[in-house]
Structure 1
């Protein structure tokens, strides 16, 4: 409560009209900042009333709860809008603010917002006053409070444009729709000369009609210093410069949160309007927790032992399913194959039931069963792999009992919310699973989760430059000279160290740094879905997504979890698609049925990984992983679990990588701070890598229960709680003292746990991924052609481009053929190198009975063709000639010429095919078939090997018959350049010159500004290390060139890992397959 500086008395006030950054370019402060400022000012309550949605209410509620601020939930609707808010200086439509008086009002308003969003288009909700009035006349009656809003409100707008009588008519319409006790005239004063006259008229109007009247400040930012950002956002929203927007921008920094005392001073002419706002705020304030939904009841079958009329409870059905699965996995209770398995199963079932989550497990099991019935590859991962129950249900492939994984990492009584089960689904069929969820639980009760798209460095600089009046050319140049992995302040400091032709002005960088991380718009989360027991639109509004025909919630996954919406992550994983395709190809061409769950553990697979022969292999194909494999030398499955976890930002930042490898190689002894730590750390040689180890350390040295250990993990996580940490620290000190651990050692262990908590990787997650590492490695070793074809057909996925995958296959002796009109299917297929096997023509996937020793690229690999058209072309065979193909497949000239360039017509002379393609295309579709003349090409010279490679790269992005550097090798040899394979013959510290096509650029956050560039030549991959200074000197080339010539120094370790430390970088003039894949 604020103190009135005039009288010294406290002035109660609640702000009921406030926009956050989730009004998307119409609010300059985050919900968190607004809540903190409102508490500082002593407000009784605060309403967030963003345009068209509840986007920021969860973050607002959470922040307000932290500071003890009562929360009000509302929205500003736009009635009768005919244009989007973006791109217009003053978008049309009339505004109306609705506040929810209670959870019923909230549910009705959420449904109304959804109705408006879905009736319109993305970015333009569509609703009429009649529709709002209709909603208010039913369930919402008495549960909403309506404010007349800003200058664009129905009443103020009528007053300004048509006078008092028209304004009174609009106000009486509001009263008729919502009731006199729920309709409020809103006064605001931003210091505009016309504000007083407008407020006088509105105040008298309210008295005449008998409605309430309240003060607001029509807030768009927390404090006056945010005014400049607010005006810049208005310019960005309108796609104008600040100069162009000047007539529409406020003249003063007035639209900020104000205290009750300041508002009382401003509205001294209108008695009680400030107090009335506080009173209405008290009436409408409630905690968002009151709207938390539940999961829908799971449809359980009849009880098998009681009667058909008595269905099993969720707990009974889950117990039945788990016990059936446990019997298959572990044997019967009286003869369990692994001691303690059934005891763990009973413990988990008891906790799942006690916490009320049987329905959650049944829903996940149901989704997995659907995948199994439809032969869709699916795998549970995340902390679910810590659960023996999930293993028994077939949700995960990790045996939590044998691996000794802590169930409490997955579920414990103190855990806030339901457990987290992520399902990886083959990406090509994920949509089937999503549609099943919709059908099973109803579209009204299921929805996809949003992803809040925020400003990044380049987009922030572009929009800042536009707002400040710089040309499109300046925007493009400045955005391109920034590294995508830097924040704006880093980009500014980097710019100072580089010689750039057009440095970015400080004003642009300053504004861009304020824009960075602000919400820009909504996207769709990669796999999050929610299911609830009521229409989901009563919990969170939905709106159209950018993807055609898709709708999305207005909350992201964290918001959903905080609000109590149970989220299921159905994540598309390209490797599962590739594995399924490979298994099908192996069965078709080799007659071998591969069961990924039963693959034998083979030394040859691990030997391949020790050689870092892992291009295309899941999770271990990056530069850092390939550099670690020869040093770690994995020899068993658990080594793969460690490998997956080791090369992560956390272990790298925590300094775990090198000590672990040294201990692994016997170069340093395995030691422990205390003997009690051996139980938790022995399997990782005394080096903590996993979150579960943090928990086990607390259990072993301090006597924590598993639940307490999970509390410790959560308290030490990214959202650290000092209060919880203090309580747990006291518990830790008592426990270690009781176990004879000295205070000094206990302090060291605590510090180690505290430091480790921020970067520990879940062991369960790593175990789940390790299965895919081994499966993909096994197939790559035994069936390399099928592996290559499957990876090509599963694109986009993985670390390497199709061109790099094909080059790797060629290095393994696999022949890869260009697309062929008569032999290619729509996708990549296998065929035999034996001419006799190929003589029979082409079936759906190459020659029937083919041993599949070669890969044939599919028609869809040709640019401009795509999957749908490629299938149409393949289905329409045979074709009489090129004219027949064009007519029946409805090809345009560009598509026909792309096919000719790719060599699909089987002629050795692609120039002739191109000539014919042009002639056919130019003949027009209005000619009768068979009467075209002059389609036969004249005698034209054929393409040489280099020209064919260029044509292949242009048309398919793949050069099956030769790498681009192969054709430059003679010149490169004269210049003294060495190949990737020749580097191994050179001594450490040797001066070298290397050349290759850029496949990747990486600048990890852990690399202190170092950039890692991967070059590929015809013999392999070359790792180039580019220091910060070298990057600055050669940035125009190294940041964007498709191929590079690098002079530098060779680093050659005893493990065979080689890097070239760059000293000079030049452009290599060569046609590359595609853009590099750059990561950070």
Structure 2
């Protein structure tokens, strides 16, 4: 009896979760319900899936509105009608300038309901009806429509559950309208009566108009919607060629064609694995999926794009032979069943990484090549702190009070009423969808039109995007293609090109010669000693220390390290246990015999997702189908579902039956649970390790070129400053940008690196473009006057270049150049110089002699580049009191020392007692790393105070050859006063 129901996917309007709406419906004795979110179909498929649990017949539609103004409701008679509604809605979601009309279009297999206040002037069509709200009933008695009751239906809107829901609705509307709650217009909000009434009460309300009840019931009876959630047959594009038979023949042909590229002498093991995989791929209906991925990477290779195929797809030899991945599953004994098995119901997916500069072109190729394609959405939800600020504005709280609330520095009972309401409702709306975004990588290619399942919107990337997320896509059997971008591949690709121009005498680099890289002794050395700054996935402080502890110098060790570093293994305490068993073989005897037999390579420690499956199957007695439910739980997406909890109980029951000690079972399960949301498939780690080796090779043999590529791709784990420092540590001379030598990006010439114009704060791209075009067309600049004559530029933009010392070739002090510039150039930025027959003579003003000091230059660097080009220790106000060096720390293990370090990065974490602690990374005066740990009492007493040099006092600790300092006190050292603004600047000769 309800034709107009909203969930909280009626964004910033509705307040009911989809499943909560079904529960309310069931409680009120309603057996059929129409879900009609406002301009949105995000909840539709999940609503249909869940309705079975509540014995409720679902009906789908959309409430079409301009803002809060309801125009009409469209209901789908069947799946075709739903597709038509989605297609119609998408026209407005693709073009924000279009307004929804008052009159609905004639769409096949749909019903139209107009609100009484929007009653049309002309006659209603067969599928059109007028919705009568309870408050309209008195007016209806005196209306012409009282004589046309066959066209009238019940329109009791449901937007919230109760008074609290209505209050929440008003707050959401105020947020949406960016207004104070007290100024929210009535026209921008629903009615407090927009709640669900029990069936009997609703009938009683309309008892004088029984025809309305019958008409409503008739419409709902005529609507039938059905989707298959069994996932038995994928709903992706069925065939890549003209038929599924041709698909399989092509896949088989391509697979065997790839043998000669991958293996010199393929043996029976390889052939058996190929046949096994092809049979399963065919049976599960994933042939076209493999071929579409193959077509994507074929295009990438034709464009010379670097890519990495990773994820559980790397467990497949077919993927390896198709060159979707570069990981040999035979070499690593990868478990194909982790990727696809006959018991796995939900579809698999490949993750393919491209350089961040290439991904958009790959995405465009996919949309042009495959018919029914869309990006997946992601629900951006209200976060607590952001909600506090939004609601604080709605209630008119001052900024200082909102700051205090977001920091959590309050006692709830000491807050005034408004602040308490802000906290209360911020917690309530936490997790509500706020707006639809784009999934970081997910693309679906469907057999049916995308609008069969959902409406689409058009975000800034201009690719149609679904209104449901990846979880719903998997539920309906639409498995996604993950097309990701990362800067690591951009660094590798650019480094290869930079080596070409800086070392033209060298042979071209075969960056895909991974087998040679694995055997290279120099690469082993920098890996073992963790000298991998800038290298993909192995440069972070945590990874740097783990590599030292493990003394990794081989591929398998690096693959394990890539997974061990994940929070799941670390959280379970098994990272430390793995290190102990790795370094001390006698420790491996402590492992449970069954676990050791399942995971001999990792000494009985669960490291990969495959390990979890194997332990669940062999130790916990779960079937492969049950173990796959566990695997899905590991992803973090399905943990709340009942099936995961059922598997948990089964695991314990089976272990008890087998006679395993309860303590051991609990410990093993604790390790399994710690993997949730964090674990890597082994193939995923192996794929990462391949990219790590490529970057390690470049860092080993071409460190300067690789650092330039790293800088130009905006670094990695660290700020640009550290990569500039790392280049200097490898012998580079670092130069500030120069108008005659630099480009937009950093440029290397021999061992000299010129920073690019793009690193100068506030320098506009159009200025750089004009400069570079003029220099390319007419040669280098001779003087400041020559530059001003040739490049149209404002005084503000020119000042940036002068302060950056980009005119140092003139040998004129930059302070004098600034005077000249202000005297010779108009403040207006000219688009083009006007060419005249006679050149105007420029007046040469005599400027005063103004020396530029070393310290002034350093502060200009900090202002324009965000870091000084000099050693930051040279900017301290007072001379160093602690001459201790990082390289000397091993001599002081167990002792209290004081040392000075320039802060590079920090990592914040929370202890079991929910107290904040930190890990710090510094460099000493000579540029070597200092690692620190700050336990809660010290962390609160001696906090980090931003970038700068700190005096650190603490105890030197050593664990597995790793040195760090347990800090007992820490103070930030004062830097000199900025001499550009000081009354009596200190002068240091340049």
TM normalised by structure 2 equals: 0.88
Q: How much does 1:690 deviate? A: 1.0
Q: Deviations over 1:501-526 (max 9, x none)?
A: 99993332222222322222222222
Equivalent residue in structure 1 for 2:479, among 544, 555, 566: 566
User: Could you say which residue in structure 2 is the equivalent of 1:313?
Assistant: 246
Name the CA distance, whole Å, in 2 between partners of 1:1044 and 1:906. Answer: 29
User: Could you say which residue in structure 1 is the equivalent of 2:540?
Assistant: 622
For the 8 Å contact 1:460–1:516, the answer to whether it is kept is yes
Helix, strand or coil for the counterpart of 1:22?
Answer: coil
- CA 1:62/1:672 → structure 2, altered by over 3 Å: closer, same or farther? farther
Helix, strand or coil for the counterpart of 1:816?
Answer: strand
Q: How much does 1:886 deviate? A: 5.0
Q: How much does 1:348 deviate? A: 0.6
Helix, strand or coil for the counterpart of 1:973?
Answer: coil
Name the CA distance, whole Å, in 2 between partners of 1:862 and 1:727. Answer: 56
Name the CA distance, whole Å, in 1 between partners of 2:28 and 2:886. Answer: 65
- CA 1:1025/1:46 → structure 2, altered by over 3 Å: closer, same or farther? farther
2:413 paired with 1:468: no
Equivalent residue in structure 1 for 2:198, among 251, 255, 259: 259
User: Could you say which residue in structure 1 is the equivalent of 2:955?
Assistant: 1050
Name the CA distance, whole Å, in 1 between partners of 2:844 and 2:374. Answer: 55
For the 8 Å contact 1:695–1:712, the answer to whether it is kept is yes
- CA 1:254/1:1011 → structure 2, altered by over 3 Å: closer, same or farther? farther
Where do 5+ consecutive residues of structure 1 fail to align?
Answer: 1-13, 86-90, 150-154, 158-166, 302-309, 483-490, 833-852, 1073-1080
Name the CA distance, whole Å, in 1 between partners of 2:824 and 2:53. Answer: 71
2:597 paired with 1:679: yes
2:183 paired with 1:183: no
Q: How much does 1:411 deviate? A: 1.0
User: Could you say which residue in structure 2 is the equivalent of 1:553?
Assistant: 466
For the 8 Å contact 2:498–2:705, the answer to whether it is kept is yes
Helix, strand or coil for the counterpart of 1:328?
Answer: helix
Q: How much does 1:116 deviate? A: 1.6
- CA 1:882/1:117 → structure 2, altered by over 3 Å: closer, same or farther? farther
For the 8 Å contact 1:73–1:106, the answer to whether it is kept is yes
Q: How many residues align?
A: 953
Name the CA distance, whole Å, in 1 between partners of 2:426 and 2:826. Answer: 50
User: Could you say which residue in structure 2 is the equivalent of 1:88?
Assistant: none
User: Could you say which residue in structure 2 is the equivalent of 1:270?
Assistant: 209
Name the CA distance, whole Å, in 1 between partners of 2:266 and 2:924. Answer: 55
Name the CA distance, whole Å, in 2 between partners of 1:742 and 1:997. Answer: 50
Q: How much does 1:111 deviate? A: 0.4
Name the CA distance, whole Å, in 1 between partners of 2:167 and 2:974. Answer: 46
User: Could you say which residue in structure 1 is the equivalent of 2:983?
Assistant: none
Larger CA deviation: 652-661 vs 271-280: 271-280
User: Could you say which residue in structure 1 is the equivalent of 2:101?
Assistant: 128
2:15 paired with 1:28: yes
Name the CA distance, whole Å, in 1 between partners of 2:770 and 2:363. Answer: 27
Q: How does 1:40-189 map to 2 (within 5 A)?
A: 40-78=27-65, 81=66, 85=67, 94-121=70-97, 125-129=98-102, 132-133=104-105, 136=106, 140-141=107-108, 143-149=109-115, 155-157=116-118, 167=119, 169-170=120-121, 172-173=122-123, 175-176=124-125, 179=126, 182-189=127-134
Larger CA deviation: 763-772 vs 620-629: 620-629
User: Could you say which residue in structure 2 is the equivalent of 1:874?
Assistant: 772
Q: Deviations over 1:818-841 (max 9, x none)?
A: 111111122112212xxxxxxxxx
User: Could you say which residue in structure 1 is the equivalent of 2:425?
Assistant: 511
- CA 1:629/1:876 → structure 2, altered by over 3 Å: closer, same or farther? same
User: Could you say which residue in structure 2 is the equivalent of 1:238?
Assistant: 177
- CA 1:808/1:205 → structure 2, altered by over 3 Å: closer, same or farther? farther
Equivalent residue in structure 2 for 1:435, among 364, 389, 396: 364
Name the CA distance, whole Å, in 2 between partners of 1:923 and 1:224. Answer: 60
For the 8 Å contact 1:452–1:520, the answer to whether it is kept is yes
Q: How much does 1:1069 deviate? A: 4.9
Name the CA distance, whole Å, in 2 between partners of 1:701 and 1:289. Answer: 34
Moved segments of 4+, more than 6 Å: 249-252, 290-293, 500-504, 702-705, 731-737, 926-929, 1004-1007
User: Could you say which residue in structure 1 is the equivalent of 2:236?
Assistant: 295
Name the CA distance, whole Å, in 1 between partners of 2:649 and 2:425. Answer: 43
Helix, strand or coil for the counterpart of 2:378?
Answer: strand
For the 8 Å contact 1:690–1:761, the answer to whether it is kept is yes
Q: Deviations over 1:359-403 (max 9, x none)?
A: 111000000011111100011111101111100110111111221
For the 8 Å contact 2:931–2:963, the answer to whether it is kept is no
Q: How does 1:777-792 map to 2 (within 5 A)?
A: 777-792=696-711
Equivalent residue in structure 1 for 2:819, among 888, 911, 915: 915
Name the CA distance, whole Å, in 2 between partners of 1:568 and 1:533. Answer: 14
Helix, strand or coil for the counterpart of 1:669?
Answer: helix
Name the CA distance, whole Å, in 2 between partners of 1:1062 and 1:502. Answer: 39
- CA 1:715/1:502 → structure 2, altered by over 3 Å: closer, same or farther? closer
- CA 1:383/1:67 → structure 2, altered by over 3 Å: closer, same or farther? farther
Helix, strand or coil for the counterpart of 2:599?
Answer: helix
Name the CA distance, whole Å, in 1 between partners of 2:557 and 2:977. Answer: 40
Q: How much does 1:790 deviate? A: 0.4
Name the CA distance, whole Å, in 2 between partners of 1:706 and 1:323. Answer: 29
- CA 1:412/1:206 → structure 2, altered by over 3 Å: closer, same or farther? farther
Q: Deviations over 1:508-564 (max 9, x none)?
A: 22222223222222222222222223443443222231x364553323332333333
Helix, strand or coil for the counterpart of 1:447?
Answer: strand
Q: How much does 1:957 deviate? A: 3.0
Q: How much does 1:21 deviate? A: 1.8
Q: How much does 1:634 deviate? A: 0.7
User: Could you say which residue in structure 2 is the equivalent of 1:835?
Assistant: none
Q: How much does 1:640 deviate? A: 0.9
User: Could you say which residue in structure 2 is the equivalent of 1:1002?
Assistant: 908
Larger CA deviation: 1060-1069 vs 261-270: 1060-1069
Q: Deviations over 1:459-483 (max 9, x none)?
A: 21210101112245654x447xx4x
Q: How much does 1:1068 deviate? A: 4.8
Q: How much does 1:62 deviate? A: 3.8
Q: How does 1:995-1074 map to 2 (within 5 A)?
A: 995-997=901-903, 999-1003=905-909, 1009-1016=916-923, 1018=925, 1019-1030=927-938, 1032=940, 1038=944, 1041-1043=946-948, 1045=950, 1047-1054=952-959, 1055-1061=961-967, 1063=969, 1065-1066=971-972, 1068-1069=974-975
Larger CA deviation: 618-627 vs 245-254: 245-254
User: Could you say which residue in structure 2 is the equivalent of 1:942?
Assistant: 851
What RMSD, in angstroms, separates the aligned Cα atoms of the two structures?
Answer: 3.6
Q: How much does 1:889 deviate? A: 4.6
Q: Deviations over 1:285-304 (max 9, x none)?
A: 42343999843455549xxx
- CA 1:409/1:994 → structure 2, altered by over 3 Å: closer, same or farther? same
